[in-house]
């Protein structure tokens, strides 16, 4: 039963519950009109303390397309947070006005704290460099729809694996399906944190390789998940400048990849995928952004118990 639950970490839901959300997403894609007013009279509060385009707009669009309404803020400065209000008090207040809330915050663990004080379901829309479980629902729906299978994939993840919260949530989730292997491509300074490599990959005996060069492995991949170097998480600008162009996926590299490899990216892209790759039928990052709206429609409907 997903009604009334929070989604803070991808492991909060069982594989069966995730499957329920994916199945509903697919049904909504096929028959959007059947779902266009199931959230009539319901309100989503979007509390975004950090910049966002896709996540915030896709949550908004999702609620509007379900017939509900949206309130919220897109920068903390315009709310009472700028007067020093805690997230615990903000969410208790928001619970008086809204039925469900999506929270993005620069501090790791903030949506978890909010959920502990909340009378309404809280969805983690990204907490610092930690987790981003709704991006992962988006990614799972994309992989299932385009590759057809969440099992048996060789998944290359490239870029900022240290601070990239989408990566942490994706690895946690894809590790639960059968026979997936990971190729983790990053500069040493941006390698995957221990809590993912030890607690998730090693603990579950998942096959993985950590490597610095993409050229050596691109031919083996079924999925290539590119990420941006997370500028806002660096303490030192020089360090960022040194690492920011570590990887640039271009046509030449794509020529070495499998015919049916797909390229994903949570977006925003900075420099890590050249525009020439956009024309390649294997590039599916904008489709992925669209799947994000459907995954969030299904998630909202399930947490509100309207479906």
Between the two ends of the chain, the Cα-to-Cα distance in Å is 11
The span from the CA of 94 to the CA of 224, in Å, is 39
Over the window 54 to 93, marking each residue x when it contacts ligand NCD by CB under 6 A and - when it does not, the resulting string is xx--------------------------------------
Closest separation in Å from C-beta 89 to ligand NCD: 25
| Residue ranges in 238-297 that form contacts with ligand NCD under rule CB under 6 A | 266-268
* Per CB under 6 A, 166 contacts ligand NCD: yes
Q: Is 83 annotated as a binding residue?
A: yes
Residue 172 in contact with ligand NCD, rule: CB under 6 A = no
Identify residues 100-139 at the interface with ligand NCD (CB under 6 A): 126, 132, 135
Q: Residue 147: name the closest of 277, 284, 15 by CA.
A: 284
Beta-ladder partners of 262: 223
We find the least distance from the C-beta atom of residue 140 to ligand NCD, in angstroms, to be 14
Nearest CB to ligand NCD, comparing residues 54 and 144:
54
SS3 letters across the chain:
CCCCCCECCHHHCCHHHHHHHHHHHHHHHHCHHHHCCCCCCCEEEEEECCCCCHHHHHHHHHHHHCCCEEEEECCHHHCHHHHCCCHHHHHHHHHHHCCEEEEEECCCCHHHHHHHHCCCCEEEEEECCCECHHHHHHHHHHHHHHCCCCCCCEEEEECCCCCCHHHHHHHHHHCCCCCCEEEEECCHHHCCCHHHHHHHHHCCCCCEEEECCCCCCHHHCCEEEECCCCHHHCCCHHHHHHHCCCCCECHHHHCCCCCCCEEECCCCCCCCECHHHHHCCCECHHHHHHHHHHHHHHHHHHHHCCC
Closer CB to ligand NCD, 185 or 267, in the complex: 267
Among residues 59 and 182, whose Cβ is nearest to ligand NCD?
59
Contact 182, 155 (CB under 8 A): yes
* Minimal distance, residue 76 CB to ligand NCD, in Å: 16
Q: Considering the complex, state which of residue 191 and residue 227 has its C-beta at the smaller distance from ligand NCD.
A: 227
Nearer to ligand NCD, 136 or 175 (CB): 136
Among 42, 165, 172, 302, binds ligand NCD (CB under 6 A): 165
Q: Which residue is nearest to ligand NCD (CB)?
A: 266
Beta carbon of residue 226, minimum distance to ligand NCD (angstroms, whole number): 10
Of 179-238, binders to ligand NCD (CB under 6 A) are: 227-228
Nearer Cβ to ligand NCD, position 54 or 147?
Answer: 54
Given a contact cutoff of 8 angstroms between Cβ atoms, the answer to whether 45 and 72 are in contact is yes
Q: Should residue 142 be labelled a site residue for ligand NCD when binding is judged by CB under 6 A? A: no
Nearer to ligand NCD, 115 or 135 (CB): 135
Binding-site residue set: 54-55, 83, 104, 132, 135, 165, 228, 267-268
Binding-site residue set for carbamoyl phosphate: 54-55, 104, 132, 135, 267-268
| Residues lying near ligand NCD in the complex (CB under 6 A) | 54-55, 126, 132, 135, 165-166, 227-228, 266-268
């Amino acid at each position: 039963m997903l009604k009334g639950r929070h989604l803070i970490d991808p492991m909060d839901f069982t594989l069966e519950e995730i499957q329920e959300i994916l199945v509903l997403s697919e049904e909504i894609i096929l028959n959007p009109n059947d779902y266009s007013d199931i959230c009539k009279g319901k309100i989503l509060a979007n509390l975004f303390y950090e910049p966002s385009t896709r996540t915030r707009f896709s949550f908004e669009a999702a609620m509007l397309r379900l017939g509900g309404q949206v309130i919220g803020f897109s920068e903390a400065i315009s709310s009472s947070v700028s007067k020093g209000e805690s997230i615990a008090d903000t969410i208790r207040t928001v619970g008086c006005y809204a039925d469900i809330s999506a929270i993005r915050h620069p501090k790791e663990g903030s949506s978890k704290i909010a959920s502990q004080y909340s009378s309404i379901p809280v969805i983690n829309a990204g907490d610092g460099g930690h987790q981003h479980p709704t991006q992962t629902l988006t990614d799972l729906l994309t992989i299932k729809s385009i590759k057809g299978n969440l099992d048996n994939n060789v998944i290359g993840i490239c870029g900022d694996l240290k601070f990239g919260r989408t990566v942490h949530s994706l690895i946690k989730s894809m590790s639960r399906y059968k026979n997936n292997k990971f190729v983790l491509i990053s500069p040493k300074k941006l390698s995957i944190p221990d809590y993912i490599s030890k607690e998730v990959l090693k603990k579950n005996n998942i096959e993985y390789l950590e490597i610095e060069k993409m050229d050596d492995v691109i031919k083996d991949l079924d999925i290539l998940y590119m990420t941006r170097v997370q500028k806002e998480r660096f303490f030192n600008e020089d360090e960022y400048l040194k690492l920011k162009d570590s990887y640039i996926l271009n046509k030449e590299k794509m020529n070495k990849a499998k015919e049916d490899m797909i390229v994903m990216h949570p977006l925003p892209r900075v420099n890590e995928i050249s525009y020439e790759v956009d024309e390649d039928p294997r590039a599916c990052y904008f489709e992925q952004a669209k799947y994000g709206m459907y995954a969030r429609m299904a998630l909202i409907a399930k947490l509100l118990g309207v479906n």
